[in-house]
Chain A
Amino acid sequence: MITTKGLTKVYRSQGREVRALDDVDLHVRQGEVFGVVGTSGAGKSTLVRCVNLLERPTAGTVTVDGVELTALSGSEQRAGRELRAARQRIGMVFQHFNLLSSRTVQQNVELPLEITGLDRRERRRKAAELLDLVGLADKARSYPSQLSGGQKQRVGIARALAGDPKVLLSDEATSALDPETTRSILKLLRELNQQLGLTVLLITHEMEVIKSVCDSAALMRGGRVVETGQLTDLLSDGHSRIARDLFPLGDFGTGGPDRTVLEITFQGDAPAQPFVSQLARTYQIDINILGAAVETIAGRLVGRMRVELPGSHTDNVVPIGYLRQQGLQVDVLDLSNGAAA
């Protein structure tokens, strides 16, 4: 649905060059919720702004719903007619809502429809429908200054949906909200994704957001995408940074000559088997549990556990083999692959 190839954005200011995006290839599939995480300054905002060309990339292409936007005419400040038409099919939600204070909630939602040239009656009907969808039908005649942050963002979402977009872009839509409101907004996004088949590209710096709504994720650092994939795949990859950040088990414990530290990841119904006690009984070993977490990620139950077995890695080849046979994913943490530490 959204594909970027070799996307690069270089900012030049006062003779200094900032490479905000560096050769970014991203693929967001139709109907998924795709999250981009990364520390501040990683280039996340630049990335979304390049997707609807609010920012003209220095190099590379952006294709949304089969239309190569970067091939359409216009400068950063003045978009050509085709690009403007394409933007009407891409909804955008902002961290600070960006609602017009001079307009009521209803009039804010009608705004994109005024731009597409819908007649008054149709606009009314559509706006009412959308406000109902986001649960704000009773606030239609209020002004944004009379709403809470969460309500404002719901208006922002209703407005973004007014043009029946196939794609919704969201830059830190929940960052200005408290945890509970964040959850309700994320739930709304998830519902819209499922009900309308909306493809969502969302930017966040909170792993919680990824965990609760995303199907896929990308991790950015220094303008580059250092990791990307579906969450379920990332979770079964022992070296995934995203997966590890989803499950912060703490820093402690790498193996050594007399102990072996394992990281066991299970998905679906694997935890139904009492593998820890089975292992202890079958091989007569003492198992020390260092940390564990279970979460629902992308709608699946996923757990991770870090355990310590006595003896070196070579002493424990058999028990490890046993665990793998049970369908568990086992990673051995020792000094040589201390990446996890």
Chain B
Amino acid sequence: MTWDQMQELMWPATWETLGMVGIAGLATLVIGLPIGLLLVLTDRDGLLQNLAVSRVLGAIVNVGRSIPFVILIVAVIPLTRAIAGTTLGWQAASVPLAVGAIPFFARLVETSVREVDGGLVEALKSMGAGTGTIVRKTLLPEALPSLVASATTTVIALIGYSAMAGTVGGGGLGDLAIRYGYQRFETGFMWVIVAELVVIVTVLQLLGDFAARRLSHRGDYRSPLSFFRSAGEKPKDAEEDLLSSY
């Protein structure tokens, strides 16, 4: 297989992967965020304590997270058909991807929001703030760096899932790797595709880290990739933060 042949196959597949991950990712953020917030707010001692809602929501999220993705793809076929009008192609693959990622992201959102210091909520209450104000002015802004990190993790997980969605008719890089690399023994091509995925994932992680870091004014944000960086690198210090605030 020549490099030109590879490229001819890879570019469309790359766009398919980015397309399905993009659409599914967007849907996941938009739907998963409120679900994650509700998980926190309706829990015991939450601002909107409602144990019935909390349990039902928690159960749905748990079920969603337990179902193996391959089974989920099949299980949501009716939904896929209703939304995308077909069950083939990358557009259709976005549906099971979103359905699988929403509960995952919702849990991450829940964790991020729970990490916001209860003292801040208390302070807002003491100023006479209502629940909506507390969510808008404290919970979300304070959790933002962590939420961005969660979104990064989710999008990267989606890229992994997209390979599976691809094999059942969605196309994309994962599908390509399996069809050529595995089924036609083009091992070299398979590694090229894997390398491309590694590049995509790394770039996304770096972008996510950069954003989270810029948004954090606590000076304690640690990237999951920081492990790979040189040990001598200092976390962002106060002086740098001061400069960046102007």
Question: Which residues of A approach B to under 8 Å, CB–CB?
Answer: 52, 54, 77-79, 83-88, 90, 92, 94, 96, 98, 100-104, 111-112, 114-116, 141-146, 163, 169
A54 to B121, CA, bound (A): 11
A138 to B177, CA, bound (A): 59
Name the distance in Å between B148's Cβ and chain A's nearest Cβ. Answer: 12
Name the distance in Å between A80's Cβ and chain B's nearest Cβ. Answer: 10
User: B126–A52 contact, CB under 8 A?
Assistant: yes
User: A87–B126 contact, CB under 8 A?
Assistant: yes
Name the distance in Å between B216's Cβ and chain A's nearest Cβ. Answer: 8
Given contacts A78-B131, A87-B127, A102-B141, contact A146 B242 (CB under 8 A): yes
A-B contact pairs, 9 of them (CB 8 A): A79-B130, A90-B126, A98-B120, A100-B137, A101-B217, A104-B245, A111-B124, A111-B137, A115-B129
User: A143–B137 contact, CB under 8 A?
Assistant: no
User: B138–A145 contact, CB under 8 A?
Assistant: no
A339 to B67, CA, bound (A): 71
| Residue numbers in A under 8 Å from B246 (CB-CB) | 141
Name the distance in Å between B72's Cβ and chain A's nearest Cβ. Answer: 36
Q: Does B34 contact A (CB under 8 A)?
A: no
How many A-B residue pairs lie within 8 Å, measured between CB atoms? 90
A104 to B133, CA, bound (A): 18
| Residue numbers in A under 8 Å from B144 (CB-CB) | 102
User: B119–A96 contact, CB under 8 A?
Assistant: yes
Given A111-B137, A163-B128: 8 more A-B contacts, CB < 8 Å = A87-B127, A102-B142, A102-B144, A104-B245, A111-B124, A111-B127, A112-B127, A115-B127
Quick check: which of B45-53, B77-85, B94-102 contacts chain A, the rest being far away?
A: B45-53
| Residue numbers in B under 8 Å from A87 (CB-CB) | 125-128
A79 to B122, CA, bound (A): 12
User: A101–B218 contact, CB under 8 A?
Assistant: yes
Query: Which of B117, B130, B141, B142 makes the CB contact (< 8 A) with A84?
Result: B130
| Residue numbers in B under 8 Å from A84 (CB-CB) | 128-130
A101 to B117, CA, bound (A): 10
Query: Which of A102, A112, A141, A145 makes the CB contact (< 8 A) with B219?
Result: A145
Query: Which of A52, A77, A104 makes the CB contact (< 8 A) with B46?
Result: A77
- Proximity string of chain B (186-218) to chain A, C-beta cutoff 8 Å, 1 when within and 0 when not: 000000000000000000000000000001111
Name the distance in Å between B44's Cβ and chain A's nearest Cβ. Answer: 10
A288 to B16, CA, bound (A): 97
B64-110 contacts to A, CB under 8 A, are none
| Residue numbers in B under 8 Å from A112 (CB-CB) | 127-128
Q: Does B238 contact A (CB under 8 A)?
A: yes
Q: Does B30 contact A (CB under 8 A)?
A: no
User: A77–B217 contact, CB under 8 A?
Assistant: no
| Residue numbers in A under 8 Å from B142 (CB-CB) | 100-102
A144's closest neighbor in chain B, by CB?
A: B217
A189 to B78, CA, bound (A): 66
Interface centre among A96, A143, A169 (most CB of B within 10 A): A143
| Residue numbers in B under 8 Å from A100 (CB-CB) | 120, 137-138, 141-142
| Residue numbers in A under 8 Å from B129 (CB-CB) | 84, 115
User: A146–B120 contact, CB under 8 A?
Assistant: no
A87 to B126, CA, bound (A): 6
User: B217–A143 contact, CB under 8 A?
Assistant: yes
User: B242–A92 contact, CB under 8 A?
Assistant: no
| Residue numbers in A under 8 Å from B138 (CB-CB) | 100
B118's closest neighbor in chain A, by CB?
A: A98
A52 to B125, CA, bound (A): 9
A87 to B124, CA, bound (A): 10
Name the distance in Å between A211's Cβ and chain B's nearest Cβ. Answer: 27
Interface centre among A77, A96, A169 (most CB of B within 10 A): A77
